[in-house]
Amino acid sequence: MLSSATLAEYLDVALEAAQRAAVVLQDWRRRFQVRTKGRFDFVTDADMASQQAIRELISRRFPQHEFLGEEDASAAARPGADSPPTWIVDPLDGTTNYLHDCPLYCISIGLQVAGELVVGVVLDPSRPELFKAAQGQGAWLGDDRLSTSRVARLEDAMLATGFPSDMRDRDDLYDYWRYFGLRTHALRRTGSTALNLAYVAAGRFDAYYAFDNHAWDVAAGVVLIREAGGTVTNVDGSPFDPFTPDGLFSNGTVHPELLQCFIRHRLRAP
C-alpha cells in the first residue's frame, strides 16, 4: 500500500504533465499535419508532441518508472508483475473530434503500481475541466469531490458506449446500440472513452460499456470511477483487466441489471 504522501506526489506530477500536454494540444490545434494510422484512425503531430511533453516530465521526476503511451510502438505490452510503477498514457483521446474541432477530447494519464491502478488524471482542455483521483483519496473535478449517480434502474439511466474507428463488419455493435437504446433513458457516444469514464465518475453518465478499449483509454478513468463510488468489471462480471478490450463501468447501483442484460440476452463481447 502506497503512502498518502507518495500518492500525492504521483498525482501532482500527473496533473502537471496533463497541463503541459494541454498547452501543446492547444498550440497545435490549427497547424497539425495528419498521417494515416488506419482507414478511419489518425495520428497527428499533436499526439506525438503531447506524449513527448508528458514523457519528458515524468521521466525527469521518476527516471526509474516505466512509460506506456498510445503512440509507442510497444504500446500493447502489459507490465509484468514485478515491473516498476508504469504510467499508462493517452496523450490525445478523441483524436477524430480534435481533428474536426469538436470539443470532446482529452489527455488521460494513469499510473499502475504492482498491477493496481492507483492514480488517474483526465484533462479536457477545451472546457476546461480537470478530473483527478488517487487511491483512497477520492475523485475530484477541480475542488469539487465527485460521486457517481444514484440511478438504480436501467430505464432511468443515461448510458454511453464507444465504437472502434472502423465500423465495417461490426453489426453486433449496432445490435447493442438498439438493445440499450430501447431500454434506457438515453444512450450516447462521445468519441472519447476517457471522458466517458470521467463523466460516469461525475454522475453525468450512469454507465459506460464498450468492447474495443485499450489500457491507455481506461487507466485513469478506472481510478476516477472507483474513487467516486462506482463499479468496474468486464462485461461478464469478472474482475476488470485494463488490458482486455471489453469493460462495463457504472455508478454501481445499475451494474447488476446491466450484467444481467449481457448474460440473459446473450449480449457478450464479440
Q: For 193-198, what is the mean pLDDT?
A: 98
Cis peptide before 125, with omega less than 30 degrees from 0? no
57: how many CB neighbours lie within 10 A of its CB?
Answer: 18
* pLDDT above 90: residue 204: yes
Give 37-91 pLDDT, tens digit per residue: 766 667 788 999 999 999 999 999 999 999 999 887 555 578 877 899 999 999 9
Question: Is the CB of residue 8 less than 8 Å from the CB of residue 16?
Answer: no
State the chain's mean pLDDT as an integer. Answer: 91
Confidence of residue 270 (pLDDT cuts 50, 70, 90): very low
In angstroms, the CA 39 to CA 42 distance is 8
pTM metric for this prediction: 0.94
83 grid coordinates: 515491473
pLDDT tens figures, 220-263: 999 999 999 999 999 999 999 999 999 999 999 999 999 999 88
3-state secondary structure at position 57: helix
Alpha-carbon Rg for the chain in angstroms: 18
Per DSSP (E only), the strands in the chain are: 34-38, 41-44, 66-69, 86-93, 106-113, 116-124, 129-134, 139-141, 144-145, 158-161, 186-188, 207-210, 231-233, 247-250
Instruction: Give residue 30's pLDDT.
Output: 76
Q: What integer pLDDT is reported at residue 31 of this predicted model?
A: 80
pLDDT of residue 269: 45
What was the pLDDT predicted at 136?
96
